[in-house]
Amino acid sequence: MTISRQRFFAFTLAMLFLVLLLPVDVSANAAEPPCMTVVVVNAPDDLEISLHHTDGTEVEALRLFQFYRSWETYYRFFYDHTAPYEKVDLQNVVLTASTADNSFDCIISAGSMKSYNNLFLLDLDDQTLTDGLYPGRYAIIVTIRVLTTLIMEGVIFFLFGYTEKKSWIRFLIINLITQAGVNIALAGVSWDSYVLLGYIVVEIFVFLTEMISFPSAVREHGTIRAVVYALVANAVSLYVGGLLISYMPV
């Protein structure tokens, strides 16, 4: 017995409708509480950072979380969930940085805490705390990303047998365009957000773009090989790029 196409689609839609009616338990991440992040370049292993008021009392409304990404170390002070952001007392706060050999204080003015997530750079040599990050930081990170992608996907491109100069020129053009799109998209994402998730979403669009672009632009070995190359190269790039996102500054 055969089932008509109309009956098949009707049955499928009915099943989907029934599934939507079923109650399901879901869970989701709540947004991060407000925080203050202190970035230290090449921080020594024994560096400790704490916050206290100018009268010496600890800032109990904050809790510290520390992690590393390559040459940068992040000290993040999250506001307590039980304390509303606008009621947290951050007047006349002092940041104390100490190692086995040295210790110094930096006063954080109330005007510096002007956003939900506040970002500071701690310079251990000058013993200063400034808003924002160091000049050229993003250029360094983008250069590392682009060069890593070009080298990795270039090796795969060569292993797929592409040797003509014309093919390599088009390879560079396509990758530079897609990498520009990736980095522009990531530049709009706060570095302390779920950047890995954002990267995966962007890479899906890169997959689709390159699987269309390479067969159209690179004709050295035909359409099928170009599509397979784009699929393999972007799968490897997605994996390696995810590692870079996890271990390198963003």
pLDDT at 249: 75
Give just the sign of the alpha carbon dihedral 155, 156, 161, 166.
Answer: negative
pLDDT at 140: 87
pLDDT at 168: 93
For residue 11, the surrounding DSSP H or E stretch is: helix 5-21
From CA 54, how far away is CA 182, in angstroms rounded?
Answer: 44
For residue range 76-97, list pLDDT tens digits in order.
Answer: 887 654 444 444 556 667 888 8
Q: The whole model's pTM is what?
A: 0.66
Instruction: Determine whether 125 is exposed, middle or buried from the number of CB atoms within 10 Å of its CB (0-12, 13-18, 19+).
Output: exposed
From CA 225, how far away is CA 233, in angstroms rounded?
Answer: 12
Residue 201 structure tokens = 């979403």
| Of 122, 63, 66, 107, the residue nearest 88 (C-alpha) | 63
How is domain 35-131 classified at the CATH fold level?
A: Immunoglobulin-like (2.60.40)
Extract the residue ranges of the chain whose pLDDT is less than 50.
1, 81-87
Contact 63/78 with Cβ under 8 angstroms? Answer: yes
| Of 33, 29, 86, the residue nearest 62 (C-alpha) | 33
Contact 83/101 with Cβ under 8 angstroms? Answer: no
- CA distances 103 to 175, 184, 242, Å, are 47, 39, 37
Enumerate the CATH 2.60.40 domain ranges in the chain, comma separated: 35-131
| Of 166, 47, 60, the residue nearest 96 (C-alpha) | 47
pLDDT at 158: 92
From CA 127, how far away is CA 143, in angstroms rounded?
Answer: 29
Using only C-alpha atoms, the chain has a radius of gyration, in whole angstroms, of 25
